[in-house]
Amino acid sequence: VLEAAEVGALQEGLTRVGARLANGAAHDAPDEDIHSLVERLLVEEAGEVALKLHTGRSRNDQVATDLRLWVRQTTPTLAEGVRALAEALVAFASTGVDVIMPGYTHLQQGQPIRGAHWALAHVWPLLRDHERLQRAARAAGTLPLGSGAVAGCPFPIDRDALAADLGFAAPTKNSLDAISDRDFLADLAYAGALTGVHLSRLAEDLVLFSSTEFGFVRLDDGYSTGSSLMPQKRNPDVAELTRGKSGRLVGNLMSLLTLLKGLPTGYNRDLQEDKSIIFDTVDTLRLVLPAAAGAVATARFRPDRIRSRLDTQLLATDLADYLVRRGVPFRISHEAIGRLVRLSEERGCSLADLSLDDYRSVDETFEADVHDVFDWERSVDSRSVPGGTGRTAVESQLEQARAALAAL
């Protein structure tokens, strides 16, 4: 199809075309699309041999190939952004090992946990996001080039060699599937959407915990803004924008899946729309990930404020565990502590203020050492199973997180 001299002429011509494009040759070009533009410029640079460039090819398999190359080039940058955020969270978590804070379910105080435990709860989802991005890159690892428009290439090209030259694992198996397949884009959009969900949850925690009502965390001035009217305000703008922009990532996934679901087999012009969708996902992640990492890296726990918000009602489960350790079935102990909680609420006092007689009025198993339960360190350290909030468990979790990051 091509003589050796023609190959050299095309290569030299393409180099010059690349330089012209870099200098703005595509601006206001009258051509139908980028393919036509490149061919026209190549004719200007290399002569009639440029008209052979498209032999045995289609824009369909070229675009599919370009998209896969782009995904494989792009995902490492996104994965690095996720890794950097996870690393910032691990560093932040290490400052919260000695901080005991309320743990929440339904946004109601549930049990005491270490601040490090809360911060690390955001690390593991990010590590899963990192793996999903890696899988998205691998999903783009087969080469469509040589599939033609529909039925394959009529010339005896070596697709295995072509795949190897371009860094792909193998050529695609079916030409019709290859030119219409956008699963790899959906994989990237899904990885981006779920990363967005995790970014949004982290951002929501930072918004809540930096608020006047909570005050558990202080965000750096570089990641907050003042009010145009109220001088006392410190608005968590970066966290709020992270939360807001994450919605775009979820929306992009839905847009892409909706675009793909109704297409007949083969290439359809609808697929032009996949570019704006996936480009927006990548651009959004490139913007949000470093901003979130910076906000976390400069955030600080406020131990005194956190300590003031600890309520001994948080230790109700520990009281139930006290009875369980003495042979009382958990369901019975749960009901007994529920009655004690109601009693303390009726009296307007804390569980710690109730007397031994009060405790024994609901279950005679209680003994004089019941008030030893009201010890924050003792409570969290009683949960030292792997994955728990006890000191040894949290320190082990920190080491595991550091090792996982080092292995990426």
Q: Which residues are catalytic?
A: 106, 227
- Tokens representing 247 are 């919605």
C-alpha distances in angstroms, 152 versus 67, 172, 210? 19, 11, 59
Query: Whose structure tokens read 């743990």?
Result: 103
Q: Measuring CA to CA, which residue among 109, 118, 115, 174 is closest to residue 147? A: 174
| DSSP 8-state assignment for residue 214 | T
**DSSP 3-state assignment of 29?**
coil
15's CB contacts (< 8 A; 6+ apart) are none
Q: From CA 216, how far away is CA 193, in angstroms rounded? A: 28
Q: Is 46 exposed, middle or buried (0-12, 13-18, 19+ CB in 10 A)?
A: buried
C-alpha distances in angstroms, 386 versus 33, 86, 245, 290, 381? 57, 20, 35, 31, 12
118's enclosing H/E stretch is helix 115-120
| DSSP 8-state assignment for residue 264 | P
The single-letter code of the amino acid at 215 is G
Buried b (16+ CB within 10 A) or exposed e, 164-188: eeeebeebbeebbebbbbbebbbbb
C-alpha distances in angstroms, 289 versus 77, 86, 196, 257, 348? 11, 10, 9, 24, 46
- Tokens representing 190 are 């899904």
Q: From CA 101, how far away is CA 168, in angstroms rounded? A: 50
Buried b (16+ CB within 10 A) or exposed e, 305-338: ebeeeeebebbbbbbbbbbbeeebeeeebbebbe
Q: From CA 202, how far away is CA 122, in angstroms rounded? A: 7
| DSSP 8-state assignment for residue 310 | -
